[in-house]
Amino acid sequence: MNKKIELQDLDLKDYKETWDYQETLFRGIVDSKIKNRREDAGLETKNYFLFVEHPHVYTLGKSGDMSNLLVDQAQLKEKNASFYKVNRGGDITYHGPGQIVGYPILDLDNFFTDIHKYLRFLEEVIILTLSGYGLKAERSPGETGVWLDVGTPFARKICAMGVRASRWVTMHGFALNVNANLGYFDLMIPCGIRGKAVTSLNVELGKKEVDQAEVKTKLLKHFAELFKAEFV
């Protein structure tokens, strides 16, 4: 089993271009697995982890409700934002500057074949990272992602998640608000969940800006420990 993960930091990159790139990497892994099964080729399947920051964009998952986007195309244009329907799970979410987006494109046959466990591990990576900043982050029952003050009137989401998996190969991932412009969340019903607020790490820490490179280092450390993986 190959537990090495190729790390790529794409910096600021258009959502659709990144989605297409994810699909290319995803398809390469799936094709290797099909060849191994059909021809007993013995090919080692690769794993990737992409860090990226997107220009303002709203994406709607397969089970999403279009009414959760509260603006039309003209208003999106005014906000310099784009919109895509995508092939991940979940409802609507927002990506933009100041947000760390992580796309693990893994062959789970190299780790464990359990999507529920995979999602819980992704959440745990975020929870452990935020703990390093003195924040008690939690899961919210029935709501994928990572939250603060769960079970109180002040519950607020700090990290959204949505994944796709086929033949135990994953794509899409998580979006952690670090220095995000929270005003953009007002243009949608985040993840289709009404009455819940959204927050960002800099807001919670009372800082103008948090060092995103430092956050990425912490995320990778916890990811490697949980998945017993090595980044290369």
Residue 206 labelled as part of a binding site = no
159 labelled catalytic: no
Polymer length of the chain = 232
Residue 160 labelled as part of a binding site = yes
Residue 161 labelled as part of a binding site = yes
Residue 1 labelled as part of a binding site = no
Structure tokens belonging to residue 13: 């990159």
Smallest Cα–Cα separation from 122: which of 106, 98, 141, 110? 106
Residue 127 labelled as part of a binding site = no
How far is Cα 94 from Cα 191, in angstroms, rounded to an integer? 9
Residue 175 labelled as part of a binding site = yes
Structure tokens belonging to residue 182: 């929270």
Residue 88 labelled as part of a binding site = yes
How far is Cα 36 from Cα 77, in angstroms, rounded to an integer? 46
Please name every residue paired with 172 in a beta bridge, in sequence order, or none if there are none.
163
Write down the catalytic residue from 5, 119, 191, 215.
191
Residue 194 labelled as part of a binding site = no
Measure CA 221 to chain center.
Answer: 17
Smallest Cα–Cα separation from 132: which of 219, 196, 10? 219
Residue 173 labelled as part of a binding site = yes
How far is Cα 162 from Cα 114, in angstroms, rounded to an integer? 15
Mode of pairing for the β-strands spanning 156-166 and 197-198: parallel
Beta carbons of 140 and 186 less than 8 angstroms apart: no
Residue whose entry in the numeric block shows the structure tokens 């399947």: 45
Residue 174 labelled as part of a binding site = yes
Residue 72 labelled as part of a binding site = no
How far is Cα 53 from Cα 99, in angstroms, rounded to an integer? 6
Residue 89 labelled as part of a binding site = yes
- From the annotation, which residues make up the binding site? 88-95, 160-162, 173-175
Give the catalytic positions in this structure.
191
Question: Could you tell me which residues are annotated as the binding site for substrate?
Answer: 88-95, 160-162, 173-175
